[in-house]
Structure 1
Amino acid sequence: MRRLTSLTGNSQKLDGGAMFGNAPRALWERWMIPDAQNRIDLGCRALLVQEHERNVLIETGIGAFFSPQLKERFGVQEERHVLLDSLAEQGLSHVDIDVVLLSHLHFDHAGGVLAPWAEGQPARLLFPNARFLTGRRQWQRARAPHARDQASYIPELLDLLEASGRLELLEDDATSATLGEGWRLHWNEGHTPGQLLAEIAMPDGPVVFAADLVPGAPWVHLPLTMGYDRFAEGLIEEKQALLEHLLACNGRLFFTHDPSIALGRVVRDERGRYGLQDSQSHLVQLSH
């Protein structure tokens, strides 16, 4: 049996122009209304996959590791580590997680691996019983970042992951021995080198954790990219390939950053434009 459950993490407010790249505000504010500081609401949603008597957590969101000053700078809304509360609602804690799969190592996707900030205390890892999986090329990027994305990585987190003895770096393969059957990995470069998207087989079509290739429902529109993406044209090509794959297999996208939509099935209209149907704000699904 496989069970998929969406988990809410800490939310953010980030600049709408940065999140929508070269799209003008007159266009993107139809989808997400900015505040007085031009910021839009964003989520940091994780996906819990329970199977074969193990708990796999895909991403951990931004968490609560930032100091109060940095928390304000990056628009983190809650004081507590919200993902831990969401796990508790499922009768779990971070010690019950067997695998943490990180699409990439930017702080808004991997920061939740760290315990909440405490004055005068060093950073420390949560999830003491988990193996941490991420791509080898993304790890190399994080260890030697470009000036453009250096601030997106957490050096202390990288040191702690390496010292844990539980870090597994994945090659650019479609499968992983650790994840096993029913899992497929997609690799892309447009947002950051070696970003991996996990595809989980389900009876009514697979679910792909879209990470920052498609951060939310509006970005299903093919031309939309983020200002944070390193190579917008390449990302669009990668996105189109994934959307075509999901169309062919009746698949769905799972969104980490969309504040209100967790999941939607990929469709295409008569004009060739991609969209979603059967959107859900929360996901709980069982497979026998």
Structure 2
Amino acid sequence: MTSATSLPSSPPPPGRTFWALEGNTQRLDGGAMFGNVPKALWSRWLTADADNRVSLACRCLLVRETVPGAPPRHLLFETGIGAFFEPKLRARYGVQEPEHRLVASLAAQGLSPADIDVIVLSHLHFDHAGGLLAPYDGGALTLAFPRARVVVGAEAWARARAPHPRDRASFIPGLAPLLEASGRLELVEPGDEGRVLGPGYRFFTSEGHTPGLLLTELATPAGPLVFASDLIPGAAWVHLPITMGYDRFPERLIDEKRACLEDLWARGGVLFFTHDPALPLGRVTYDPAQDRFGVSPCGFEALHPDAGA
């Protein structure tokens, strides 16, 4: 993991509010989601359907920043899987809704895709970046967010442009050229967060799931909030040995996960989960007798007195 996790982000800016926005849900094979963990164990955490698939969220984090005398700025961390798949692939990957659910979640907050100023992607696997695209209509792919700058880690971008055969199917053909042609793509490295996002953010990367997974720490008055992406996709994966079959280097991911959790526990930090079907965020806990990390469910009110529900 790059950019040592013990280095805190800069202080939080005033007037910042958070929401967890639900995107399209999907069902994936439970064995793939839990790697070498036997079903007798993982079925305690998630219930499989008749096809051995478990339900997963594709959740996004919305941040609104307000400064007196200026219009609010809206940042969106990831876009979920969206509704871009044609029907055959939508069924294959277990996408449950034909409509773009993230757009509906934005509308519930009084926003449209045109109101989003910045989108930060941890990587470009389709279940994290597919929501950038408009819903499937039988025509060419088009971007759903007309004015947002799209922030992507340089290493994650390079992987999307030249994937390995093992993960080629995880990327969306045609998305990268659309982003390049938009003129709104911004490639970053850890250390660029101040220039790109402003104060109160910090980038660091992980290599265990995919090259250059870009993780973001957000400073809050009550401690750090980390958008955990696929380093820790949900509460069940907080337990150190639990990894996904999709992870390229499970042992390295476990080491990176330990470093992140140790740091957050020491600083009273909170994890935001993209894929947990029930829990958007939880504060990191630790049992030294068992050397075991966990999470205690919490809401955004625990992070900021002005947080959204």
Band of TM-score, shorter chain: over 0.9
**TM-score normalised by the chain length of structure 2:** 0.90
Partner of 1:21: 35
Superposed displacement of residue 72, structure 1: 0.2
Instruction: Identify if the C-alpha distance between structure 1 residues 109 and 78 changes in structure 2 by more than 3 Å, giving closer, same or farther.
Output: same
Kindly indicate whether the alpha-carbon contact (under 8 Å) linking 1:252 and 1:265 is maintained by their aligned counterparts in 2.
yes
Hey, what does 2:202 align to over in structure 1? 184
Match of 2:188, as an amino acid? L
Instruction: Determine whether 1:12 maps to 2:32.
Output: no
Counterpart residue number, 2:108: 89
1:19-168 equivalences under 5 Å are: 19-52=33-66, 53-119=72-138, 121-168=139-186
The 3 A distance-change label for structure 1 pair 73 and 273 is: same
* Corresponding residue of 1:212: 230
User: 1:284/1:248 Cα in 2 relative to 1: closer, same or farther (>3 Å)?
Assistant: closer
Task: Name the Cα RMSD after superposition.
Answer: 1.6
Amino acid at match of 2:28: L
- Is the 1:3–1:284 contact (alpha carbons within 8 Å) kept by the matching residues of 2? no
Distance 2:248 2:299 in 1: 30
Q: Distance in 2 between matches of 1:257 and 1:266?
A: 17
In structure 1, distance between residues paired with 2:78 and 2:34: 22
- How much has 1:287 moved relative to structure 2? 4.8
Q: Is 2:278 aligned against 1:260?
A: yes
Partner deviation per Cα, 1:46-77 (whole Å, 9 max, x = no partner): 00011142000000000000001100000000
Identity of counterpart residues, as a percentage?
A: 59
User: What is the CA–CA distance in structure 1 between the aligned matches of 2:267 and 2:301, rounded to whole Å?
Assistant: 22
Cα offset for 1:99?
0.1
Matches of 1:8 and 1:182 in 2, distance apart?
Answer: 24
Range 197-206 or range 71-80, more displaced:
197-206
Letter of the 1:88 counterpart: A
1:105 & 1:5 partners in 2: Cα distance? 22
Q: Paired residue for 1:273?
A: 292
CA distance in 1, matches of 2:268, 2:302: 17
Distance in 2, matches of 1:172 and 1:87, equals 28
- Distance in 1 (CA, whole Å) between partners of 2:74 and 2:53 is 35
One-letter code aligned to 2:248: R
For 2:4, the equivalent position in structure 1 comes to none
Q: What amino acid is aligned across from residue 98 of structure 2 in structure 1?
A: E
Alignment gaps of 5+ in structure 2: 1-14, 67-71
- The equivalent residue for 1:251 is 269
1:179, 1:129 → 2: CA distance? 16
Instruction: Measure, in 2, the Cα distance between the counterparts of 1:282 and 1:150.
Output: 40
User: Could you tell me how far apart the structure 2 residues matched to 1:179 and 1:283 are?
Assistant: 23
Partner of 2:12: none
Is the Cα contact below 8 Å between 1:191 and 1:213 reproduced in 2?
Answer: yes
User: CA 1:172/1:13 → structure 2, altered by over 3 Å: closer, same or farther?
Assistant: same
Q: TM-score, normalised by structure 1?
A: 0.96
| SS of equivalent to 2:193 | coil
Q: How many residues align?
A: 287
> What 5-or-longer segments of structure 1 have no aligned partner?
none
